[in-house]
Structure 1
Amino acid sequence: MSKDYYFERYAWKTPLIPHFSPPTDLEMVVVIPAYKESQLGLAVHSILACSKVACRVILLIVINAPEQSSLDALNLNQRAYEEIKQIKDTDQITIQVVNIGLPQKKAGVGLARKIGLDEAARWFKKLNHSGILVCFDGDCRCSDTYLAAIYSAYKNHNLNAGILAYEHPLDLESGIIPYELGLRYYTDGLRYSGYPSVHQTLGSCITINSDHYCKHGGMNTKKAGEDFYFLNKIVRKPGFAEINEALVYPAARISDRVPFGTGRALISYQIDKENILTNYNPLIFEEIKIFMTRLPEIIQGQSPNLPTAIQKFLNAVDFYQKLDKLLKNSRDLTSFYKQFYDWFDYFMILKMIHFSRDLVHTNLPLEAGLSHLNENYWKIAPFNTLTLQDQLIKIRALNRLGQTSL
């Protein structure tokens, strides 16, 4: 998709700052959607405190609220807006902030993030060069290497898009430790299974080249989970990588601003701790591993034995009929696998996991899953005698190194 076509058909039509002229040397825009953020200033100062980066940066803050928001929410947004307006630019970073209402039907973090990213992409189109778009959130902090690591990844490694490493603050009482362990258990369980291109899906950790953003249809307008949908489009495209030289620190706090995610999970933890302390049965990942191992045989027309739940799922989604179509429409194996994983994507593998969970492998205590994955994948020693916090610290280190054993 061309940039012109994207802006004609899919972009947010109204410029956020109509009379703003971006500096000609602009190379990076960090977009922060914010709704009812009482500590937005801390997020901004976290970025301003980053070590020097060799480019011009704009920090675009999209304070937003649904049209029918409460007076309390609107007042909080206005206070945040006034606070940000008082923060001074630096030599390298210019702050642009708006406070807008969103259509009630579509209002949410997805639309707010899209509006900001579309505005930044529009600036780069106006400047006639591509640039770096970065997603951040109003309740996050970052390491001081944040801007420099992102810039270096694009300039030195031909990056088109990427995902930054993350670590929640370690709070023993909030439930964030088992919550983050669950996130890492899921992604590493899929990596262990052999499913390709597995990365964490946190909206505050995404970055993408502005041309690449337009080419692949831009951000969606989901009220929550916009990050999952967006990454599902771009994660298997050329030039995608993890940026582990910097960290994003998402907040570990209770929040009801979106229907699911960290804040909602921590609310759930306060009500019923078992909601976070159980997770997928590791046998599901073992059975997906069998499927991934035998996939080449299936593609060649053979009928290898598969676990019952996997076979029933494949039948339920008309897998073999779809496979025949893809094979007929592919000129070679490279073309086939590209089309195959466009179909058998993050959504499809999640459906497979849920199908298996509901049919055979009910959820187990998180610790049982962690122990199994460690024995077969992480191989951290010792492990089972460690506290959950120490297990998380070890797994984080492995993830940042891109290795499976430490």
Structure 2
Amino acid sequence: MAHVDKAVKQYLSQYTDPMVPDLAQITGQWDHVLIVPVCDEHPDFMRQLMSHHGHELVLLIVVVNRPQKHPRSTDWQLSNHTLVCQWQAAAELLVSISDEVTLLSTVDGFDVLLVDHNLLPYEDHKGVGLARKVAADMALKLVVTGHIKTPWIFSTDADVILPAGYFQVPEQIGGDDLACSLRFQHISTDPQLLALQDAYDFKMYYYQQGIRFIGSAYNYIPLGSTLIIHAEAYAKIRGFPVRSGGEDFYLLNKVAKLGGVFQPEQPVVEINVRMSERVPFGTGPAIRKIRADIEQGQLPLYYHPRIFVILKKWRNQLLDYYHQQQLPVADEGLNECWDMETVLVKAMGQTNSEQRWQQFIHEWLDAFKLLKSVHFLRGRYPSLDRESLLMEPGYALVTGGERSQ
């Protein structure tokens, strides 16, 4: 990175995780950097992950970790140890960077900066967010020092197959886009698992279409396995939040306030369906819950489309407030829920242009508040099973007649 942004310097000096070591001993140079948190993975996972990329010069930063109090933590410690030992044995050259960090050259054709936190289990509330932050902080350092040629941090997971053209996606990204959320497809040879995953994927895509219908720019699906972020943007939002899940949601929520989130139709990331126990919520736990609900006779439920219709009108009236100076009507309780009169009056006193007002509403009614508002309205409009949802007239309006997938 020829010019180091002020926010990047500040981040590296004040907000880099304490577990990130000095990387001065690293002398190589790579085109791209890919971060991967790893817990209880088979040592061969990288062959599948990078199966379409044998010709590209990529540094993988792999953070081997486990939660402290999970009932399977001891089992995962053993499997993590096996992976570390096998990779170290397979590497052509090992360079010790610190007690926990080793540069392996090469493993299955790729250089790996292996971060072994297996003996130092993470506090349960930090989990995968801490693993991604440690890896991304190291990636940022290497971008700044010129060891990585392109200023983009690629993030994925060990259950993924990265498609051809994956590392060329930033070449498509426009000047205002600071991150990318790739399309994905879940794969499995087990039809029952695929059916469960389809129920959850439908929910994610339907929600995305609902947010798009509202008119909000937070209309992406936040998955750590399909995420690409510009190094400077990563520093400006002060990195991944250290939490046991949802770190991708909160990171992109901050990014979208600074610039766009690019969502190309191609390439498509393939993700293996798994009922993971590694995180407290997310895709793995979600399909476990769907299976349990179905076994108890409860079909998967989806938000009533009326919720998105109400939110669209409410948001539009918030945008018009700069001229109308009138609280939204027919708000179904949202004004009181968010104490909108206080919020709007205070904001008006600090706003001197319509453009700034539009930006204020965009930043205030963010992905988090939209989700909370949906959940609030769910109390008035109960969720529907899939068949009932598809029969509801509002569904076609919200989705534009497209299948939520």
Tell me the TM-score normalized by structure 2: 0.83
Residue of structure 2 equivalent to 1:292: 315
The answer to whether the Cα contact below 8 Å between 1:43 and 1:140 also exists between their aligned partners in 2 is no
C-alpha separation in 1, matches of 2:109 and 2:344: 51
Q: How many residues are treated as equivalent by the alignment?
A: 375
The answer to whether the Cα contact below 8 Å between 1:299 and 1:323 also exists between their aligned partners in 2 is no
Q: Is 1:138 equivalent to 2:139 in the alignment?
A: no
Residue of structure 1 equivalent to 2:370: 349
* AA at the equivalent of 2:278: R
Give the alignment partner of residue 13 of structure 1, picking from 15, 18, 23: 18
- In the TM superposition, residue 91 of structure 1 has moved relative to its aligned partner by 11
Q: Is 1:28 equivalent to 2:32 in the alignment?
A: yes
Residue of structure 1 equivalent to 2:78: 75
Residue of structure 2 equivalent to 1:278: 301
Indicate the SS of the match to 2:186: coil
C-alpha separation in 2, matches of 1:131 and 1:305: 43
Indicate the SS of the match to 1:195: coil
Residue of structure 2 equivalent to 1:97: 114
Indicate the SS of the match to 2:12: helix
Residue of structure 2 equivalent to 1:65: 66
CA pair 300-263 structure 1, distance change in 2 beyond 3 A: same
CA pair 298-334 structure 1, distance change in 2 beyond 3 A: closer
Residue of structure 2 equivalent to 1:122: 141
C-alpha separation in 1, matches of 2:208 and 2:260: 20
Give the % identical residues: 23
- In the TM superposition, residue 223 of structure 1 has moved relative to its aligned partner by 0.5
* AA at the equivalent of 2:261: F
C-alpha separation in 1, matches of 2:22 and 2:78: 22
Indicate the SS of the match to 2:281: coil
Following TM superposition, where does structure 1 have runs of at least 4 consecutive aligned residues deviating by more than 6 angstroms? none
CA pair 266-276 structure 1, distance change in 2 beyond 3 A: farther
Residue of structure 2 equivalent to 1:164: 182
Tell me the TM-score normalized by structure 1: 0.83
Indicate the SS of the match to 2:66: strand
Indicate the SS of the match to 2:265: strand
- In the TM superposition, residue 272 of structure 1 has moved relative to its aligned partner by 1.0
C-alpha separation in 2, matches of 1:295 and 1:12: 39
The answer to whether the Cα contact below 8 Å between 1:27 and 1:131 also exists between their aligned partners in 2 is no
The answer to whether the Cα contact below 8 Å between 1:27 and 1:132 also exists between their aligned partners in 2 is no
CA pair 92-332 structure 1, distance change in 2 beyond 3 A: farther
The answer to whether the Cα contact below 8 Å between 2:65 and 2:122 also exists between their aligned partners in 1 is no
Between 87-96 and 338-347, the greater mean CA deviation after superposition:
87-96
Indicate the SS of the match to 1:66: coil
Indicate the SS of the match to 2:137: helix
Give the alignment partner of residue 307 of structure 1, picking from 317, 330, 341: 330
1:86-235 to structure 2, matched below 5 A, reads 86=90, 89=106, 93-100=110-117, 101-104=120-123, 106-127=125-146, 131-148=151-168, 150-154=169-173, 159-169=177-187, 172-174=191-193, 175-235=196-256
The answer to whether the Cα contact below 8 Å between 1:42 and 1:141 also exists between their aligned partners in 2 is no
CA pair 18-269 structure 1, distance change in 2 beyond 3 A: same
Indicate the SS of the match to 1:2: helix
Q: Is 1:368 equivalent to 2:388 in the alignment?
A: yes
Report the RMSD for the aligned CA atoms in angstroms: 2.8
The answer to whether the Cα contact below 8 Å between 1:326 and 1:340 also exists between their aligned partners in 2 is no
C-alpha separation in 1, matches of 2:111 and 2:391: 47
Indicate the SS of the match to 1:224: coil
For structure 1, the 5+ residue unaligned runs are 382-390, 397-406
C-alpha separation in 1, matches of 2:262 and 2:211: 17
CA pair 260-103 structure 1, distance change in 2 beyond 3 A: closer
- In the TM superposition, residue 147 of structure 1 has moved relative to its aligned partner by 2.0
Residues 90-148 of structure 1 show CA distances to partners (whole Å, capped at 9, x for unaligned) of: 99942222221244355400000100000111112223976210110112222222223
CA pair 197-65 structure 1, distance change in 2 beyond 3 A: closer
CA pair 152-195 structure 1, distance change in 2 beyond 3 A: closer
Between 344-353 and 1-10, the greater mean CA deviation after superposition:
1-10
The answer to whether the Cα contact below 8 Å between 1:130 and 1:211 also exists between their aligned partners in 2 is no
